[in-house]
Chains A and B, each alone.
Chain A
């Protein structure tokens, strides 16, 4: 090609001046062996002095070349506040022994009883390794350990995915196993046994005779040996590119938990026909739970850069709970480095078969299972959130996300005799919570 025509060279020069003077945007050269770091802190706060959580998290990832990478994630949770203990409100003040083994606490009349001494710290560490053993195949393994004062968890899993159909379809399989131990401070209470009053009388406890029995002020017929729980999760999923602008993912997952599935700090009120509490008994859940869920996600790219993401999950388990989750988010990019992402989520579940707001006298000796844990009750919840992200120079980026969660309980599981008398109380008060997450990452 010759470039000696005067008009040609004018055109070539014009094209070069169009491009040549544009400042180049920096980018680090890399050969896939770079380090990357992510830091995030979550602040979670429930209304009415309920649970507060501060959760700093750090992740480091090292690319090892040839699609291999190694990552480590460390998380610390600091929890404090008050958590509903399962007892129903009453027309007189109620006194409970504290789950933390200390003294008791008294709840004013008509209020939903909450244990104010909910306080814990959790530390978790996860290691993962991923590689690509052949064309279109990806494998990753991870192992994790977490510990808090009365709960430890040890787990691991693997995932395999395979791309086919020119990379337009991905099949994924995953398997995860964890082995958890619950060691309540005052021993694990006998299900449906009576919670002992907080004062020194009847200092029984320690029926199971564990070595580190702390006297059982709160523990009733406590069993101070740790209680074990195993969870096995399996997942199979397909991701299909529908068009250059959209993709769809379908997952089926099954999860089986066995062992000690009770919350050792949750009780139920046993009430007389006028809804006056006679005693409090520890909850009792089946020793196995099988959950199955179907998940569908649809992503659509708008203007080739904005992303609309809709997903729906249906979950059902053999405790009688069915839940629905619908989630919608829309990432809107503005400028070349910033985005806003509004987020909406709707959730609804019905109650477990053995959910009871309270028990009539005598039910505690005839029912095999009973729980008043609000998480096993019927409720619906909404989350509204907004995220802002900003890509800085040199591979650094940060984002901030604020979310507001509101949960409305439905009153279910009223006992046959005292049910109408109990209805005078607000058995399922709404819960509001705010989330704030700040994240920062660099390479």
Chain B
């Protein structure tokens, strides 16, 4: 597996460990580590990320997500780690008043954010809404039962979870300061050795806006946005984050929301739910006392 890991020298000083996981470029920085040590630590992070990706990928035959989605109404026994994520997502469903929903993935059948960029048929979306909703799910740890035709998808949380898990593992493996950056979702365990914060340029993907530089000493940062995948029709922009209650993107949603928080999963949950608040994104983030940056 180390075949897929690259150690590159950064301009200036030090090295970065790089690999790909979850369709994103992934980077590991360890302040003061030489190439050998960074290679070992990056391998640890990469193995963990690939493990998480394999475990919860919708495309992997035979994994837990595949078994749940092909159970046709039968209950499926859930492993402990997956159960913890389901519990966390169930909590998000409450916190977001139904905006965050593990079962919203079936909307993909109607919305295709690809080259042809057509708006879906409203009738198709209405039909799909009967297959969406955490309230239709019977979750009694360790048994999960979906209605036939329903699906779950951990795509909205997996990358942030991998960031936090990688940081936990690397913090146990080295005394040096560590920063994890998986496709713009970040976490750091402490400032750099000279006491300065880690600095990361976040690509909001929005043309003609300055790349915000994040200064991170400790904790997680996550960004949600529609910048790379959206549909435009009738002069209106439809982002790829969909409100599971309507089947449509929230009206007047920001282009991107970046949140800093104690962990990357928490930051990711806050930024995603904020985006789903559409025009009220900033208000909701303020009500959560969140540390955020919104691009509209």
Please tell me if the beta carbons of B266 and A12 are within 8 angstroms of each other in the complex.
yes
Q: Please give the distance in Å from B19's CB to the nearest CB on chain A.
A: 7
B236 in the interface (beta carbon within 8 A): no
From residue A392, how far is it (CB to closest CB) to chain B in Å?
13
Contact A7 B95 (CB under 8 A): yes
Contact A1 to B53, CB < 8 A, known contacts A7-B95, A30-B36, A31-B34: no
Given A67-B35, A244-B25 in contact, is the A30-B289 Cβ separation under 8 Å?
no
Enumerate B213-237 residues with CB–CB distance to A below 8 Å: none
A349 within 8 A of B: no
Assuming A1-B290, A245-B20, is B50 touching A304 (CB within 8 A)? yes
Give A155-175 as 1s and 0s: 1 = Cβ < 8 Å from B's Cβ atoms.
000000001001100000000
A11 vs B85: C-alpha distance in the bound complex, in angstroms? 13
User: Which chain B residues lie closer than 8 Å to A303 at the CB level?
Assistant: 50, 53-54, 57, 59-60
| Known contacts A19-B165, A136-B9, A69 near B36 by CB under 8 Å | yes
Q: Is A305 within 8 A of B288, CB to CB?
A: no
Q: Which of B44-60 contact A (CB under 8 A)?
A: 44, 46-48, 50-51, 53-54, 57, 59-60
Interface range, B side: 35 or more
CB pair B50 A15 closer than 8 Å: no
B262 surroundings in chain A (CB, below 8 A): 3, 12, 15-16
Across the interface, name the chain B residue whose C-beta is closest to A443: B40
Asked whether A301 lies within 8 Å of B4 as measured between CB atoms, the reply is yes
Q: Are B3 and A299 in contact (CB under 8 A)?
A: yes
The 8 Å CB contact of A19, one of B8, B21, B164, is B164
Q: Does A336 lie within 8 Å of B51, measured CB to CB? A: yes
Residues 352-368 of chain A: 1 if any B CB is under 8 Å from the residue's CB, otherwise 0?
00000000000000000
Nearest chain A residue, comparing its CB with the CB of B39: A32
Closest chain-A Cβ to B263's Cβ sits at a distance in Å of 5
CB of A10 within 8 A of CB of B37, answer no
In the assembled complex, how far is the CB of residue A324 from the closest CB belonging to chain B, in whole angstroms? 25
Considering the complex, give the chain B residue whose CB is closest to the CB of A64.
B36
Closest to A3 in B: B289
Known: A27-B169, A27-B172, A307-B4. A12 touches B50 (CB 8 A): no
Complex Cα distance A8/B4, Å?
A: 38
Rounded to whole angstroms, the CA-CA distance of A166 and B36 in the bound complex is 19
- Least Cβ distance of B17 to chain A in Å? 12
Residues of A within 8 A of B59 (CB): 303
Contacts of B8 in A (CB 8 A): 166-167
Q: Give the CA-CA distance A31 to B270 in the complex, in Å.
A: 37
- B91 — which chain A residues lie within 8 A by C-beta? 10-11, 14
Find chain A residues with CB under 8 A from B40 CB.
27, 30
Q: Which of A11, A167, A336 has the most CB of B within 10 A?
A: A11
In the complex, whether B128 has a CB less than 8 A from a CB of chain A is: no
Question: Across the two chains, which residue of chain B brings its CB closest to A66?
Answer: B34
Proximity string of chain B (1-45) to chain A, C-beta cutoff 8 Å, 1 when within and 0 when not: 101101011000000000111110100000001111100110010
- Interface residues of A, count at CB 8 A: 56
Contacts A22-B165, A69-B36, A303-B53 hold; do A1 and B84 have CB atoms under 8 A apart? no
B259's nearest neighbour on chain A, judged by CB, is A1
Residue pair A135, B9 in contact (C-beta under 8 Å)? yes
- B84 CB to nearest chain A CB (Å): 5
Say whether B161 faces chain A, with CB atoms less than 8 Å apart. yes
- Interface assignment of B269: CB less than 8 Å from any CB of chain A: yes
| CA distance in complex: A28, B41 (Å) | 10
- Which residues on the A side are within 8 Å of B53 (C-beta)? 303-305
A-B residue pairs in contact (CB < 8 Å), sample of 30: A5-B287, A5-B289, A8-B290, A15-B88, A15-B164, A17-B87, A18-B84, A18-B88, A22-B165, A25-B169, A27-B40, A27-B170, A27-B173, A29-B174, A32-B36, A65-B36, A67-B35, A69-B36, A301-B20, A303-B54, A304-B4, A304-B21, A304-B50, A305-B21, A307-B3, A331-B3, A335-B54, A336-B48, A336-B51, A391-B47
Residues of A within 8 A of B (CB): 1-5, 7-8, 10-12, 14-19, 21-22, 24-32, 34, 63, 65-67, 69, 132, 135-136, 163, 166-167, 241, 244-245, 299, 301, 303-305, 307, 331, 333-337, 339, 391
Which 10 A/B pairs are nearest by Cβ-Cβ distance?
A336-B51, A32-B36, A27-B173, A15-B266, A305-B50, A32-B34, A167-B8, A2-B289, A14-B91, A304-B20
**B positions within 8 Å CB-CB of A:** 1, 3-4, 6, 8-9, 19-23, 25, 33-37, 40-41, 44, 46-48, 50-51, 53-54, 57, 59-60, 81, 84-85, 87-88, 91-92, 95, 161, 164-165, 168-170, 172-175, 260-263, 265-266, 269-270, 287-291
